[in-house]
Structure 1
């Protein structure tokens, strides 16, 4: 038993929580099952792993460019608030569990493993469960397992009495959410990618499903962002690099000028008694401040480009290799991958467009929180405002054009802040400085949280049954049942 736990812990820490190697391993296994020559197996493993690492570099660069600016805003204007960001949320959730539920420290990691095997079982029993997707974005699973662990411990008072039973129930619920929510994105993603052979396993699966259904009612797909007629010289903004760099000069420029060179030159800031390091601080001895502003803005564009290159490299290998797993081990299954994989299939302008419109929605809602003196103030986090709203814009533009992209990205921004504030208050996270913040952890997880609070274990059962019912409803509504399992758009 001890040997098995050692093996499982090693797999969790070195493979499952390292999505680049997890994706590489899946490609390796898939090509072996397809009986590819050894050199093709090796090359596929390398390209998939390195491609995902490139995507990680792009994602991390975007986050690390934006987060220090949020910290500086917090410092200069003495804003004591919670940041809606899954990394801040992960830290806050772990800190609260360690403080209030010490017997559950490490429970999220165990729940992650349980949830992963629950997901496998649900796909293996697809003829009964109607689930076709395997969630393989391990770093996202870590964040979500921590937040779900916190919700159940805080909102169901008797939940923390047995760490063994509690951890098992947390894992089961995680597995249900990963399997069901990613399954909801199959048709939308197949439509977007023209049969790309993958689904989304990230932080906005419910939002993608909703977007795919509602967008056609909000606009015409023919009026999409790529065909949007811009006057004269503005046509240069159809180029993603030009558009992102130019927009970020204005966006970051306004914020950095507001903060000033003195704040941005500080290597460390003390906020609420905690010392926070500033990555790449401004050095007045080596650079003009205005050039620093331009460089920071252009850096955003650089990381967008890097992210896109990583997506192109690993998605093709994963899609091809997963046919081996789908044919031999989990017939009819789809890999559920990072949402950034979808960006290369929609309008090139959509990710940036969704980011800007979602940010406007967030900022308006933050101002309203201040005006109405809400006890919890929310600070924008980069991951939700970019990745959620970029994805929503990509899928909305495909189905309902730019009007749908504007409407749904803006609504998402509003909900991220408004329901983020509700969640921070409900879970007692104000003093811990963060909440998960992604759109799926506003809807459906904030409503789920209230069901846990008022329903206890019955509430847990209601949520679990609700999740299990979703693929059954999807299957029942499918006109061609066999096409449903193949993920064909009907």
Structure 2
């Protein structure tokens, strides 16, 4: 039985493209579509998701290189948050692989039950994010003294509540951004997005004065920058080249081989733009298929169900805000990196992937709430905020035997702190 569950979790449920294709298939079958329409809709959904993932992978590999030259060029030492490393350690050293797999399933089931019987109709479809949430609830539950059934059920309930509550809290903003209610945001960095939205409301532009970063009027000679991809290029190319120069030829050549290290940095920055292009194409293809297919599930299983999808689905609606969010979040993370150690907290290096995906999405929230000023001030404070939470977690991780480790996505960090500060003391009291 356990081997079947493990197979389903590892080969189907964590393979997000297959999960989403199966859900689309179920929706189309429930709508009594023809065999041809069911096959075509399911495969196109899968294709759209795979294209989106391919775009993400290109961006990830380009940013991984950028992160390394950035750390070297500006002589940074500290902890790079990585939930993947924690997941590996939990599975291998603590033997929690089975519990994480079962908690993953429990989160999904609790999510569907809540969506079925309450007014919050969100079905969280970002499998990877649920896996990270399951990892955190299992590891922290384990150290709070929970074992077996209790560990899985409590993790499932907490994760399931997060999986419904985060899309529900983000929805008023998502509605403003997309102009529709057919999709929601399923990404466990939502507390950070709400934080940026709050800052943008306080310090941003209001009413008539509110100007979106998307409406920038450029002089005639610079109108080519209205093109999303060219504007991304104009930001990323200098960023990569200047950083490569700081990192120096000796270090740069370890990546570039026989190619000149500055030329390599230039090509990597263009690679980043290629990733953004592929990712956006995947989003369009995915949304074209998943939204109609989901109506079947909404009509039968969970009336009025709304799919909560990964953060890149919002990128095409506000591309300039994504780049502004990326840059301001990076700046905020760098400020926090120097400030937090003064207060005795760990030095957390800026994670370029989080800065792009979470920072970019937060930038869209800041822009829609408080215009350009909201996105600017909100972005810097968002960077500080998403560095502070992982820094608080380092000491707790150290006490558990995870040396120099912490995680990124602020919702999973919040769930971990909830265990450490509230659940664990209650359990130990009894």
Q: How much does 1:152 deviate? A: 2.7
Q: Cα gap change, 1:406/1:308 in structure 2, threshold over 3 Å: closer, same or farther?
A: same
Structure 1: 5+ residue stretches without partners: 267-280, 460-490
Equivalenced residue count is 426
Match of 2:124 in 1: 135
- Report the CA distance between 1:379 and its aligned residue: 1.5
Aligned-partner Cα distance in 2 for 1:105–1:312: 35
1:450-484 CA-to-partner distances (Å, cap 9, x unmatched) read 2235444789xxxxxxxxxxxxxxxxxxxxxxxxx
The yes-or-no answer on 1:11 pairing with 2:5 is: no
* Matches of 2:412 and 2:276, distance apart in 1: 25
User: Is 2:395 the partner of 1:425?
Assistant: yes
Superimposed CA distance per residue, residues 399-441 of structure 1 (whole angstroms, 9 cap, x where no aligned partner): 3211111122211100112222111122228964542212334
Instruction: Answer yes or no: is the 8 Å Cα contact 1:383–1:438 preserved in 2.
Output: no
- Is 1:390 equivalent to 2:376 in the alignment? no
1:137, distance to aligned residue in structure 2 (A): 1.1
Using the TM superposition, name which of 314-323 and 418-427 deviates more. Answer: 418-427
The equivalent residue for 1:251 is 239
The answer to whether structure 1 residue 440 and structure 2 residue 411 are counterparts is yes
Equivalent position of 1:289 in the other structure:
261
Question: In the alignment, which residue of structure 1 is the partner of 2:286?
Answer: 314
Gap change, CA 1:72 and 1:224, over 3 Å in 2: closer
For 1:219 and 1:442, locate their aligned partners in 2 and report how far apart those are by CA, in whole Å: 31
Q: Does 1:23 find its partner at 2:9? A: no
Measure how far apart 1:148 and its partner are. 2.3
After superposition, the CA RMSD in angstroms is 2.7
CA distance in 2, matches of 1:433, 1:234: 46
Contact 1:226–1:349 (CA<8 Å) still a contact in 2? Answer: yes
Q: For the Cα contact (< 8 Å) 2:73–2:244, is it kept in 1?
A: no
Does the aligned pair in 2 maintain the 1:362–1:417 contact within 8 Å?
A: yes
How far does residue 164 in structure 1 lie from its aligned partner after superposition?
3.0
CA 1:97–1:454 in structure 2 vs 1: closer, same or farther (change >3 Å)? Answer: farther
Deviations 1:297-318 (A, max 9, x none): 1111111111111101001211
Single out whichever of 222-231 and 141-150 deviates more from structure 2.
222-231
Cα distance in 1 between the residues matched to 2:221 and 2:416? 44
Contact 1:326 1:334 in 2 (8 A): yes
Q: Secondary structure at the match of 2:217?
A: coil
Residue number among 320, 334, 344 corresponding to 1:349 in the alignment: 320
Q: Is the 8 A contact 2:212 2:372 kept in 1?
A: yes
Q: Quick one: distance in 2 between partners of 1:209 and 1:77?
A: 31
* Cα distance between partner residues in 2 of 1:375 and 1:137: 31
Q: Which of 103, 112, 134 is matched with 2:104 structurally?
A: 112
Tell me the CA shift for residue 352 of structure 1: 0.9
